[in-house]
């Protein structure tokens, strides 16, 4: 999920990945996005909603997040403020069968 299985990415690595077909999910809370800003070309799915979101019907996912739902083999990168929640998100996604 994160750069071929690596647990973390540098800013430059993320910028390079975003030039490819990667879905960037920011798992911060909505108030954090409002306060600190949105990361360009990312979608916000707060960590508490992530498991439910990754199990949604693809049509519902698109309607709610305005983005195509990732398949279990699509490249996905998770981010948060300090890395703790994004590592949890990676664990959740892996437990749901994402590779």
Hey, where are the domains in the chain?
2-96
Residues 59, 5: Cα–Cα separation, whole Å: 28
Q: Provide the pLDDT for residue 62.
A: 96
3: pLDDT strictly greater than 60: no
Active-site residue set: 80
Concatenated DSSP letters for 38-87?
PPTT-EE--HHHHHHHTTS-HHHHHHHHSSPPPPTTS-EEEE-SSSHHHH
**2-96 under CATH 3.40.50.150, yes or no:** no
**Tokens, residue 4:** 């071929």
Residues 73, 99: Cα–Cα separation, whole Å: 5
> What band does 1 get if pLDDT is binned at 50, 70 and 90?
very low
Q: Which residue has the higher pLDDT, 13 or 31?
A: 31
5: pLDDT strictly greater than 60: no
Q: Provide the pLDDT for residue 15.
A: 75
- Name the residue with tokens 């508490």: 48
Convert the pLDDT of each residue in 57-98 to its tens digit. 999 999 999 999 999 999 899 999 888 899 999 999 999 999
90 touches 2 (CB < 8 A) = yes
- Name the residue with tokens 């994004």: 86
Convert the pLDDT of each residue in 24-42 to its tens digit. 999 999 999 999 999 888 9
């Amino acid at each position: 999920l994160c750069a071929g299985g690596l647990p973390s990415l540098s800013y430059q690595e993320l910028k390079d990945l975003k030039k490819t077909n990667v879905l960037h999910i920011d798992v911060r809370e909505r108030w954090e996005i409002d306060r600190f800003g949105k990361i360009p070309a990312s979608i916000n799915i707060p960590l508490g909603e992530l498991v439910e979101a990754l199990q949604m019907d693809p049509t519902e996912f698109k309607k709610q997040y305005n983005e195509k739902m990732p398949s279990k083999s699509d490249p996905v990168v998770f981010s948060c403020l300090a890395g703790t929640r994004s590592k949890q998100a990676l664990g959740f996604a892996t437990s749901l069968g994402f590779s």
